[in-house]
Structure 1
């Protein structure tokens, strides 16, 4: 058994009882449908021929009551299969969705740098729905089909062997045809999945940037782009529907062929007194009974193709090992002072050959306020992203209080570092929810205190519902300065010993910058702080300023010392 099959079957384990109950009711329901043609044969061949009319009528009434009982039992079976069977599938979908979402949380920035959000969403929504349809209906349809086929074969062969062989001679041909179509449908459905993922990614990209679209009045361009992607999806659907049409119509043709063969063969056998009319009627009823398993096999084949392509994509994601994870003997970071050392640190992105920077050596004492400046693209943000291990160093090491960060548990490391970025991300929800994100167990009073420290309390109280104001997705109802102060309040609440300010004020107007800068300086007090800045006026008071270029650290010193050197920093400052 392959590892993929074992993985697929493992999702049934928590629901074994429900699964076997579903299979039992599927089996019982299939058996009941096999009984009805036999009762018709008994009435036409035996009861009506060999019994008095009054006796036959009494027996038919009793049989009718029994049939009603069987119909009620069949109703119970079908209800259980439709309700509890689907609930089993829904619970398995829940487990799978949890697993892939948890896996998403483990993957590093390197993974997300190369992925489209819409495609990742498709794997957790569309793909999983089809997988669970296969989980529920697949085994159930197989059981029903097998029971009906075997049951019908055993019953019919006892009635008439030649006519039974005529009927079942068509079955191998139908299966060969289905096998031939399987690979074609598999490729078609996989192409559908890829195209719908592309559409999801395009929609996500458009809706996320809708303000940019409207500001440039490029709605028409976006509609054209979407129409092209949508048409590619239609083309892939056209191919899959063509193969589906061949599949359905081909099997329908074989089913009609069986009916024709039985009518002609049965008519000849009746003419030669080989079988009775009731036997021919029974055969025709069983042929109709065989259409249902044929349909279920068709559904199973479609579900299998849909489900297995979705499961392949599901496994592809789960197979991606997080490139940044805890060592077995990783330790918690305790009593953090905040002394940070870079020793011969080099970094390059995956699938690139050129280093972003190399040979970085730097020592930052606990509580130091250190600024990083330099031209765009030299790796200032990347360098700071190495400290919380958003990316892994290619060479060298980074230490906090003398401990290599690769020996520290990720959760402990990142809880010790607070980050305020230029591009603030606020979640859909209230002001209170967004600040509390810094410490989920914080009380309302602690949240309010953090907001006051970030100079955010006054503007929050002016909002319609104060701290309970809903701020929209990504905080669209707030100004840039307001959003930035909320992000600072979040870090105040987290209360980390190490801070990283990544161009936190570069997108703000002068008035907002002044308020935010005051908040940042208050937050940075007695904490080891890295400041990435384009506006050099904001870092004149830094204890140490590092000038980063493509060749690594070019200059280092205080604001005045660097101006006196009249080098890179001086030219940046005067510019």
Structure 2
């Protein structure tokens, strides 16, 4: 362990892909889907005009002229049109059903992969409920492109066909239909303004409520042990009340505009019939034209009224799309780039390192320079909040330094992908989070090709082999959700075995014995000491005298994140007052 001072150069650590969520959507939608839908909707809309024209001809030709042969011909034609209309609608429905499935598959996989490639610091900035809500945002995307709103949007342009036919067969009603369309558009615009504000409030309230549920699920042992029922219930009730209030306010607004739309549609019928009746009395149009125009007006007001009612869905989609775009435009970890190292000799170096959390006022780590390794067992000590865990995350390339850089065997770690770094640097967090599954699955999750010998060796090095053999199912024992079928110390050793299974030359361990008993701590100390003597570079954050007693070097941080001391354990421990008069480590 030594101190160095080198010039600061910083490489690009993250990748940015500016295309956003749009690229994912284009892949999911494929080519020609929208064109096919518009093409089918055009013919469906044309066929929808057949019935009003049929009614017009029956009233104006068949009834007044007793044209039975004409009636039979018209009936045959309208039946054929109805059958063809049904076939086209079924075909269009199949297109949207297939599109919905494709959207679900492509977008959910893209979102999950995107989350996996986000930097750890970005993932920690938002609560778990936020990331879960993004998958609900995908449901709004599916509804927009493969749900009722998608059909509405492709049908809307062809409302003009009905308007044009009204102008042809019932010209005196032209101004009426123009006023109706304008009124509906104004109503939709007013609805959109209200829906935008209400939807945002409702989303935030739901996130807060879901966050309370997530907190309870994660801390259920503490809740039960400390009898926090009333406190948790109070917090949840407040969040639930805000969610219900926001939903109620949105529902009131939505219902108001929906009812206004229905009233406007009724008013449109009354106005059409009234003006049409006056035109008939003035011999400006026929009875058949009035009835047909009234039917056509329903084809105009129906989609427009639906647009008013569905505007909340469109607003929710736009907000969901904005969140997804922001996520897909944010920087991600490198997926490739530099030629990886053939092997690592286990030397880590930091140069002019500083770190500040986003939005924070003060730096957590200040002006750190140093080198660890190759080889040896080194301790990282300091008071709570001095930045020990943060430093380990930076060394593991989980955090990006605000200034300075980290070198692995003289190469900036910023040039390597996380997958490559994981081969050389193993990191054990202070709070381990096992996955549901067997012990073997948890140990080999990061390296599925591990052999049985690899698994046993890793478990032995983590001082976990004995207790695993004592379990009825051994390595096939189920750990349960969050690993709760095992003790905290057992979970910690299983997690350490998962780090050791790939045998990385550098190990960064954050309080690896915090949940272990004295016997297990001593056993793990011996295993780590043996690893350090076989070429591994091990840096441990610890307050344990058992581990400090075998450390070769010590790095001590101050409360303000600056270096207090660094050097051999024999030099630094007495300076820190961690050695008793008899020479034993306290």
TM-score past 0.5 threshold: yes
Q: Match for residue 4 of structure 2?
A: none
Counterpart-to-counterpart distance in 1, 2:293 and 2:446: 72
Q: Match for residue 11 of structure 1?
A: 25
Matches within 5 A, 1:197-236: 197-236=207-246
Counterpart-to-counterpart distance in 2, 1:356 and 1:109: 17
1:374 aligns with 2:382: yes
Displacement after TM superposition at 1:391 (Å)? 1.8
Cα distance change on mapping 1:321 and 1:42 into 2, 3 Å: same
**Greater alpha carbon shift after TM alignment, 179-188 vs 136-145:** 136-145
| CA offsets 1:175-209 (integer angstroms, 9 cap, x no match) | 12222332221111122222222222222122111
| CA offsets 1:204-246 (integer angstroms, 9 cap, x no match) | 1221111111111112221221111111122222222222123
1:32 aligns with 2:47: yes
Please tell me whether the aligned partners of residues 488 and 520 of structure 1 are also in contact (alpha carbons under 8 angstroms).
no
Displacement after TM superposition at 1:497 (Å)? 0.5
Structure 2: gaps (5+ residues): 1-16
Cα distance change on mapping 1:280 and 1:403 into 2, 3 Å: closer
1:116 aligns with 2:140: no
Counterpart-to-counterpart distance in 2, 1:557 and 1:300: 68
Please tell me whether the aligned partners of residues 357 and 550 of structure 1 are also in contact (alpha carbons under 8 angstroms).
no
Q: Give the number of aligned pairs.
A: 564
Counterpart-to-counterpart distance in 2, 1:95 and 1:500: 36
| CA offsets 1:442-472 (integer angstroms, 9 cap, x no match) | 2345334433443434433444543333322
Scaled by the length of structure 1, the TM-score of the pair is: 0.89
Counterpart-to-counterpart distance in 2, 1:281 and 1:555: 93
Q: Match for residue 412 of structure 2?
A: 404
1:549 aligns with 2:558: yes
What's the RMSD between the two structures over aligned residues?
A: 2.9
| CA offsets 1:524-568 (integer angstroms, 9 cap, x no match) | 4420111111111222121222333236343445555456x4543
Please tell me whether the aligned partners of residues 22 and 80 of structure 1 are also in contact (alpha carbons under 8 angstroms).
no
| CA offsets 1:30-62 (integer angstroms, 9 cap, x no match) | 222211111122122212332355x46xx43x5
Cα distance change on mapping 1:305 and 1:555 into 2, 3 Å: closer
Cα distance change on mapping 1:113 and 1:9 into 2, 3 Å: closer
Q: Match for residue 151 of structure 1?
A: 161
Q: Match for residue 187 of structure 1?
A: 197
Matches within 5 A, 1:292-303: 292-303=302-313
Displacement after TM superposition at 1:294 (Å)? 2.0
Q: Match for residue 568 of structure 1?
A: 577
Q: Match for residue 336 of structure 1?
A: 344
Matches within 5 A, 1:396-475: 396-475=404-483
Displacement after TM superposition at 1:139 (Å)? 5.1
Counterpart-to-counterpart distance in 2, 1:69 and 1:459: 77
Displacement after TM superposition at 1:152 (Å)? 1.5
Q: Match for residue 106 of structure 1?
A: 117
SS at match of 1:73: helix
Counterpart-to-counterpart distance in 1, 2:257 and 2:567: 75
Q: Match for residue 99 of structure 2?
A: 88
Matches within 5 A, 1:232-311: 232-311=242-321
Please tell me whether the aligned partners of residues 483 and 491 of structure 2 are also in contact (alpha carbons under 8 angstroms).
yes
Q: Match for residue 391 of structure 1?
A: 399
Please tell me whether the aligned partners of residues 356 and 550 of structure 1 are also in contact (alpha carbons under 8 angstroms).
no
Please tell me whether the aligned partners of residues 254 and 309 of structure 2 are also in contact (alpha carbons under 8 angstroms).
no
Displacement after TM superposition at 1:119 (Å)? 1.0
SS at match of 1:16: coil
Candidates 312, 317, 322, aligned match of 1:312: 322
Cα distance change on mapping 1:347 and 1:9 into 2, 3 Å: closer
Counterpart-to-counterpart distance in 2, 1:326 and 1:157: 60
Counterpart-to-counterpart distance in 1, 2:341 and 2:171: 80
Please tell me whether the aligned partners of residues 372 and 531 of structure 1 are also in contact (alpha carbons under 8 angstroms).
yes
Displacement after TM superposition at 1:299 (Å)? 4.9
Cα distance change on mapping 1:228 and 1:77 into 2, 3 Å: farther
Counterpart-to-counterpart distance in 2, 1:571 and 1:170: 92
Cα distance change on mapping 1:376 and 1:35 into 2, 3 Å: same
Counterpart-to-counterpart distance in 1, 2:580 and 2:53: 98
SS at match of 1:338: coil
Q: Match for residue 529 of structure 1?
A: 538
Counterpart-to-counterpart distance in 2, 1:181 and 1:211: 46
Q: Match for residue 45 of structure 1?
A: 60
Scaled by the length of structure 2, the TM-score of the pair is: 0.87
Displacement after TM superposition at 1:504 (Å)? 0.5
Counterpart-to-counterpart distance in 2, 1:418 and 1:17: 48
Cα distance change on mapping 1:246 and 1:423 into 2, 3 Å: same
